[in-house]
């Protein structure tokens, strides 16, 4: 992947959420709007559907583990810790992957927990993907975190760029109507 953002000072403990990692990769405009408290998500049917899938899947698991700025769908503990993120479709799978990579990174870098991996769960299509953090992905994440800092500090949102995803985005009317 190529992420074009200028380098900044050394990265501190990140305070971003997994949702911001996801939005950075999906759309910087969406990232800016969300990060600057322009929230339209609660009225979105798609978001409501995602919430329903999350709440009705894996009923035996403890849901929504909050650790500082990150909220993990659920965690399984065995020989190692496995982070689970539940999604409804694979359409934005790279953004989904980096959201999970960020949770793994956060537990490793910020909390010092070494034996961590991740799983992306797609219960509606009965698929799951196992994810581990490599050095290359760690470098990508650090570029993403710097990129998020740059976007959220902008005085106004980056101009929207139309993409097929826009029609499903809660900010569609904000950007295009």
The contact set with ligand SF4 (CB under 6 A) reads: 27, 29-30, 160-161, 163, 165-166, 169, 171-172, 175
∠ CA 145-15-78, rounded to 5°: 95
- Closer to ligand SF4 by CB, 65 or 175: give it: 175
Nearer to ligand SF4 by Cβ, of 5 and 172: the residue is: 172
* Dihedral angle over CA of 130, 103, 138, 15, nearest 10: 170
**Nearest distance in Å: CB 147, ligand SF4:** 15
- Shortest reach from residue 34's CB to ligand SF4, in Å: 9
Nearer to ligand SF4, 35 or 82 (CB): 35
* Distance (Å, whole) CA 73 – CA 70: 10
Burial class (CB in 10 A: 0-12, 13-18, 19+), 4: exposed
- Give min distance, CB of 148 to ligand SF4, in A: 15
Q: What CA–CA distance (Å, rounded) separates 111 from 38?
A: 30
- Our CB check for ligand SF4 shows the closer of 86 and 169 to be 169
In whole angstroms, the minimum distance from the beta carbon of 42 to ligand SF4 comes to: 15
Q: At CA 82, angle to CA 79 and CA 85, rounded to 5?
A: 165
């Amino acid at each position: 992947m190529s992420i074009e953002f200028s380098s900044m000072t050394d990265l501190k403990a990140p305070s971003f959420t997994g949702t911001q990692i996801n939005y950075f990769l999906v759309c910087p405009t969406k990232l800016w709007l969300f990060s600057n408290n322009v929230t339209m998500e609660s009225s979105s049917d798609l978001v409501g559907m995602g919430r329903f899938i999350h709440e009705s899947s894996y009923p035996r698991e403890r849901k929504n583990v909050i650790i500082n700025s990150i909220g993990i769908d659920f965690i399984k503990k065995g020989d190692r810790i496995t982070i689970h993120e539940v999604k409804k479709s694979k359409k934005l799978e790279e953004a989904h992957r980096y959201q999970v990579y960020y949770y793994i990174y956060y537990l490793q870098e910020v909390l010092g927990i070494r034996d961590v991996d991740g799983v992306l769960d797609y219960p509606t299509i009965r698929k799951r993907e196992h994810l581990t953090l490599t050095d290359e992905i760690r470098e990508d994440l650090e570029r993403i975190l710097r990129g998020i800092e740059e976007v959220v500090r902008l005085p106004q949102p980056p101009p929207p760029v139309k993409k097929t995803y826009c029609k499903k985005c809660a900010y569609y009317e904000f950007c295009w109507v």
